[in-house]
């Protein structure tokens, strides 16, 4: 069989024009189908995490805090209500980071699947966007399940609290896009995970106003929160779920900060993927 006949046969099976126009969707579809093999485990973890966090910290530790501060509460509400929006945002950020960093390393280094994908009409930009869309899918169901658990635990006090769902997903998308671009540049990931866990994720979790108001920290440490997507998402989430006071100007600042992260992450991710696959 000649090469020409093989080429003509492949065009019958694969619509190159559709791949070129919808490539990112096809990449995401393939990733989601692979994810479905472990769907019950994934859903179990997505439900267990908020239940355990809210019981242990929100109710357990929170009960002691509520007794110590009296009727004033923390920020005027029960500690569980104060804590829950931060955990919601953290779940979105952690989920999108995992679903962008690990597939990127797998595609470029561990299994090198991106190179075989790039040998088709798929471009580096489409591959990067496809991985990102998969991360959004994971963030969506993670946040929705987390919010349902929050509601069942009585941590939601506002009729507009559901808006914390897209806000948390937006924050996760912003951080995930930036981490995807960073992962795309990695040649050796050994030290990367140590630095990421100890010097990025842990400080963000501890110093972003998650467990206590950011203003209660020493001023020279508050800058960690200012540059943290978790703090920006937490402030918005608390504003939406129980009416935490945020000025209109700061609402815009929070969204603009997260928006810049998202745009920059997507831009550099597509550029890095394309450049690396062209080598």
163-216 pLDDT, tens digit per residue, is 999 999 999 999 999 999 999 999 877 788 888 888 888 888 888 998 988 988
Would residue 213 count as lying in a domain?
yes
The more confidently predicted of residues 198 and 110 is: 110
How many Cβ atoms sit within 10 Å of the Cβ of residue 166?
13
Tokens of 161: 């609290």
Would residue 3 count as lying in a domain?
no
Cα angle 79, 98, 212 (rounded to 5 degrees) comes to 20
Structure confidence by residue, pLDDT tens digits, 261-271: 999 999 999 99
Distance (Å, whole) CA 169 – CA 69? 32
Percent of the residues in the chain that have a pLDDT greater than 90, as a whole number:
58
Would residue 164 count as lying in a domain?
yes
Would residue 167 count as lying in a domain?
yes
Q: pTM for the whole thing?
A: 0.89
pLDDT of residue 6: 43
- Total domain count, the chain: 1
Would residue 1 count as lying in a domain?
no
Domain that includes residue 214, residue range: 22-277
Q: Which pLDDT band holds residue 226 (cuts at 50, 70, 90)?
A: very high
pLDDT of residue 9: 45
Tokens of 264: 């920059």
Percent of the residues in the chain that have a pLDDT greater than 70, as a whole number:
92
| Residue pointed to by tokens 């919601």 | 88
pLDDT of residue 205: 86
Average pLDDT over the chain reads 88
CB 107 within 8 A of CB 113: yes
Position 3 pLDDT exceeds 50: no
Would residue 2 count as lying in a domain?
no
Tokens of 10: 């492949």
The one-character DSSP state at 122 is -
Would residue 5 count as lying in a domain?
no
Over residues 140-163, the mean pLDDT reads 92
Over residues 12-36, the mean pLDDT reads 80
Q: Which pLDDT band holds residue 18 (cuts at 50, 70, 90)?
A: low
């Amino acid at each position: 069989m000649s090469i020409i006949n093989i080429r003509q046969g492949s065009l019958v099976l694969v619509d190159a024009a559709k791949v070129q126009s919808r490539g990112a969707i096809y990449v995401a579809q393939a990733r989601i189908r692979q994810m479905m093999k472990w769907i019950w485990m994934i859903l179990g973890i997505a439900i267990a995490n908020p239940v355990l966090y809210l019981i242990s910290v929100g109710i357990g530790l929170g009960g002691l805090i509520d007794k110590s501060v009296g009727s004033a509460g923390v920020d005027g509400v029960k500690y569980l209500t104060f804590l829950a929006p931060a955990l919601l945002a953290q779940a979105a950020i952690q989920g999108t980071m995992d679903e962008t960093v690990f597939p990127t390393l797998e595609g470029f280094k561990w299994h090198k699947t991106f190179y075989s994908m790039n040998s088709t009409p798929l471009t580096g930009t489409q591959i990067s966007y496809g991985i990102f869309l998969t991360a959004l899918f994971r963030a969506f169901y993670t946040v929705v399940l987390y919010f349902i658990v929050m509601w069942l635990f009585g941590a939601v006090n506002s009729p507009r609290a559901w808006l914390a769902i897209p806000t948390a997903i937006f924050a996760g998308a912003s951080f995930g896009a930036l981490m995807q671009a960073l992962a795309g540049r990695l040649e050796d990931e050994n030290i990367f995970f140590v630095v990421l866990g100890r010097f990025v994720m842990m400080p963000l979790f501890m110093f972003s106003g998650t467990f206590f108001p950011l203003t209660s920290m020493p001023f020279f440490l508050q800058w960690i929160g200012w540059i943290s997507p978790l703090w920006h998402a937490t402030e918005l989430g608390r504003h939406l779920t129980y009416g935490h006071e945020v000025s209109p100007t700061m609402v815009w600042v929070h969204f603009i900060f997260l928006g810049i992260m998202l745009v920059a992450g997507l831009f550099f991710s597509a550029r890095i993927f394309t450049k690396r696959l062209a080598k």
